[in-house]
Amino acid sequence: MNYLCYIYGTYNGRKRGLLEEKTDEGLLRLSFDDINVARSLFGPREENIKYLKKYFNIKASIRGNHLTLIGGKKDVEDTGKVINELHDIVKKGFPVNVSDIDHAVRFVVNTHQTGSDIEKDQIYIAGSKKLITPKSKNQRQYVDAMNKYDVVIGIGSAGTGKTYLAMAMALAAYYRREVSRIILTRPAIEAGEKLGYLPGTMYEKVNPYLRPLYDALYDMVDMDRATRLIERGIIEIAPLAFMRGRTLNDAFIILDEAQNTASEQMKMFLTRLGFSSKTVITGDITQIDLPDKKTSGLVEVRTILKDVKGIKFVYFTEKDVVRHPLVQKIIKAYEARRLELEESKNAEWKG
């Protein structure tokens, strides 16, 4: 059993092997009884601790399995909470990388969950070395919705984890034998670019459009295992047009980039749902690439299905972005510009 010891303030107590004491304000000392755990947590050349300085105004000193943090009280306490989150990851045998640190920081700053709440939300994929944890309030609502509803529609900006978390839930459901197959689909619409006539077979022609789904899959399951699942037909990745005329039973189905479905395509997809199946639809209504005057099925469905029981809508904001920290700021800037243009158009119309 590994013990993580905090020392920062005026409180003494024990809780599940965790020793807490307080000394001077703005000082935090952590000690680990397993040097290997400490080394994994600190990272090669202490890179993980150095990376935390990007977020918090702290000074850090490491000696063996002891870490001392000095700085403002809030920064020191938040850094300690982040290290506690990362410590839990290391204890379970998982490596800590930069994205884990980014997620842990965002999680600590934006939420107030207890350890048991965090554990409850984690998605475990059997045989994988990845433990997926929702990193924001909306992401937790999204995971909770996928557990409770047969149709879940996630709407939000790029990088908010819509497709990634849906993929994790699909794989977890398969390995728990809740479904017998996973179907991943998206419309083959060009994002404002003309790709021309592509060479190769039909599958090779549409493969560029489906690449993001493969990327999410390979990030959770090693390539050999994923390839075997695809070859056996357990995982099917296909363009939306291939769904017509099918009934999808005992399956976890994900429709990605749903903002690029036309109204009739969305209706076609939703009516494919068979017995013992679950459907997750994801999209970003600010990035619609449909030809002019075509209504997005994702935009339309918000009105048509908003009162249908058994269907859950989850909306994401820039606070849920789990990519490079700048992506959050970029999305916020574009959203502000979009609202500004809308207000300008409304003012012209009224004038």
Q: What percent of the chain has pLDDT over 90?
A: 28
Answer whether residue 200 shows pLDDT above 90.
no
Chain-wide mean pLDDT for the chain? 80
Q: What are 48-81's pLDDT values in tens digits?
A: 888 988 888 888 888 888 888 888 888 888 888 8
Q: Residue 299 and residue 99: Cα distance in Å, rounded?
A: 31
Position 120 in a domain: no
Position 81 in a domain: yes
In a shared domain, residues 263 and 191: yes
Q: What are 311-327's pLDDT values in tens digits?
A: 999 999 877 776 666 77
* Residue 108 or residue 303, greater confidence: 303
In a shared domain, residues 307 and 327: no
In a shared domain, residues 97 and 135: no
pLDDT at 260: 92
Tally of CB atoms within 10 A around 31: 17
User: Helix or strand or coil: residue 67?
Assistant: strand
In a shared domain, residues 161 and 90: no
pLDDT at 184: 92
The CATH number of residue 104's host domain is: 3.30.1370.10
In a shared domain, residues 133 and 99: no
Answer whether residue 44 shows pLDDT above 60.
yes
Single-letter amino acid code for the residue at 13 = G
DSSP string, 274-307: -TT-EEEEEE-TT---SPTTPPBHHHHHHHHSTT
pLDDT at 103: 74
In a shared domain, residues 150 and 20: no
In a shared domain, residues 339 and 264: no
Position 118 in a domain: no
Which of these three, 84, 113, 142, is where a domain ends? 113
Query: Tokens 């010891």 identify what position?
Result: 5
Residue 59: give the domain boundaries.
Answer: 4-113
- Least confident among 6-15, 83-92, 263-272: 6-15
For residues 153 and 314, the answer to whether their CB atoms sit within 8 Å is: yes
Q: How many domains does the chain have?
A: 3
Answer whether residue 210 shows pLDDT above 60.
yes
In a shared domain, residues 92 and 223: no
* Residue 100 or residue 299, greater confidence: 299
The mean pLDDT value for 244-273 works out to 93
Answer whether residue 8 shows pLDDT above 60.
no
In a shared domain, residues 78 and 131: no
pLDDT at 11: 32
Q: What are 115-158's pLDDT values in tens digits?
A: 445 556 678 787 666 778 787 788 889 999 999 999 999 999 88
In a shared domain, residues 213 and 230: yes
Which tokens belong to 251?
Answer: 């399956």
- Least confident among 60-64, 209-213, 218-222, 236-240: 209-213
Position 236 in a domain: yes
In a shared domain, residues 238 and 345: no
pLDDT at 29: 85
pTM over the 0.85 mark: no
For residues 161 and 258, the answer to whether their CB atoms sit within 8 Å is: no
In a shared domain, residues 78 and 35: yes
pLDDT at 278: 96
Confidence of residue 265 (pLDDT cuts 50, 70, 90): very high
The CATH number of residue 207's host domain is: 3.40.50.300
